[in-house]
């Protein structure tokens, strides 16, 4: 843990130099957009179609939502890139707190 934090600190934040960034050009964004639209259509179709059972639909659409959220975070908001260590850590902590909150509240209200 220490070494990890130490290396993170090697380039102390006050004297950090920016290097050129990656992922420029609209290509990955267009792909993410295209897939988001596809996933949205899939989710709506799963609900609209009578053939798909409810037991399958709900986990399926939630899974699609999580993937779409990941597109937003990682591709459009660049959360996986350099300089995003702390955003990543804190967003993940936030998601943890969010999941505990939602799961806790609804499980205890429903049962």
d(CA 65, CA 48): 16
Residue that has been written with the tokens 């960034």 in this structure: 21
Q: Shortest approach of other proteins to residue 51 CB, angstroms?
A: 13
d(CA 24, CA 26): 7
Tokens of 88: 């990543």
Residues that bind other proteins (CB under 8 A): 1-2, 5-6, 8-9, 12-16, 18, 20-21, 24-26, 29-30, 33, 36-37, 40, 43-44, 46-48, 54, 57-58, 61-62, 64-65, 68-69, 72-73, 76-77, 83-84, 86-87, 90-91, 93-102, 104-111
Would you say 69 or 80 has its CB closer to other proteins? 69
Radius of gyration in angstroms for the set of CA atoms belonging to the chain, rounded to a whole number:
19
Q: Shortest approach of other proteins to residue 57 CB, angstroms?
A: 5
């Amino acid at each position: 843990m220490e070494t990890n934090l130490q290396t993170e600190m090697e380039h102390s934040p006050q004297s950090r130099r920016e290097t050129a960034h990656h992922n420029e050009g609209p290509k990955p964004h267009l792909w993410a957009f295209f897939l988001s639209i596809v996933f949205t259509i899939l989710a709506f179709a799963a609900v609209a179609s009578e053939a798909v059972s409810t037991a399958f639909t709900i986990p399926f659409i939630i899974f699609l939502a999580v993937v779409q959220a990941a597109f937003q975070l990682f591709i459009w908001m660049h959360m996986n890139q350099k300089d995003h260590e702390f955003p990543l850590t804190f967003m993940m902590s936030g998601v943890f707190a969010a999941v505990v909150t939602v799961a806790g509240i609804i499980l205890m209200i429903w049962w």
